[in-house]
Amino acid sequence: MNAFAGRVVLLTGAGGGLGREFARQLLAAGADLILSSHNPQRLKAAAEFAAQSPNRFGRIRSLLPADLSDPASCDHLAEQVLRIAPDLDLVIHNAGVGLYGPLEALPVEAAERLLRINLHAPIRLTARLLPALRNRPRSQIVFISSILGWAALPNISVYSATKFALRGFADGLAADGYCVSTVYPFFTQTDILESPQYGTTTQRRVPGWMIDRPRPVVRASLAGIAARRHHIYPSWKARLYAVTAVVAPSVLPPFSRLVAG
């Protein structure tokens, strides 16, 4: 992980399952971290969890609570980051929320909030941080997307839309000459699996054998980020899903019944 020694990293969604693990592994690898989350208590807990690593070589430069569903809060976060870390060179857009159910059953406010957090906020933050990143030789922008950014499943339409759009946005930034990596996790043991569900008679649960664990997912993600790969599949399940979505999409409908009904 020497690729992260001395790098200054903004990590959003630091209070969640993947965020906590990203913070822990990046701190151990020698990065300077700026951690952000909507919940101050979870943000503090994530920082304490990361700092417990016995082999940490980095430091936590700042904890910045921010509500990414609010454009003004996004702008304020960007201003704070630019003031605290003009040497910023790595942004990991990890914050995200989920929502399950047929479109007509979803509350409009919940769907719009999901769009603001999962898609609008990464675009808005990136635009405001580009002036700092543009002049850094190792600058890199990372988007934590999902396998659902390659092929959608039933009853996850709005969430899937944001992940497809993130992939397009990342590809556009790469075409503009920026170093961009997009990570496509498979179903992982995080709060996303407990997302609100609407319009269904039974609560859907992803079978346990299909769920990846945060630690190896983050380890593989950081290896891909260190190698500056454009597309990163952090488990064999994620890679298999993405390949299947391209070469044999007819296989996915039976699979979807296991996951999404």
Show which residues are catalytic. 159
- Say whether 57 sits in a helix, a strand or coil: coil
Instruction: Write phi, then psi, for 220 (nearest 5 degrees).
Output: -70, -35
247 — phi, psi (to 5°)? -100, -25
DSSP 206: -
Closest to 12 (Cα-Cα) out of 98, 126, 174: 126
Instruction: Check if the beta carbon of residue 22 is closer than 8 Å to that of residue 14.
Output: yes
Helix segments in the chain, DSSP class H: 17-28, 40-51, 71-84, 108-115, 121-134, 157-175, 214-226, 236-247, 252-259
From the centroid of its chain, how far is CA 164?
A: 13
DSSP of 63-125: EEE--TTSHHHHHHHHHHHHHH-TT--EEEE------BS-GGGS-HHHHHHHHIIIIIHHHHH
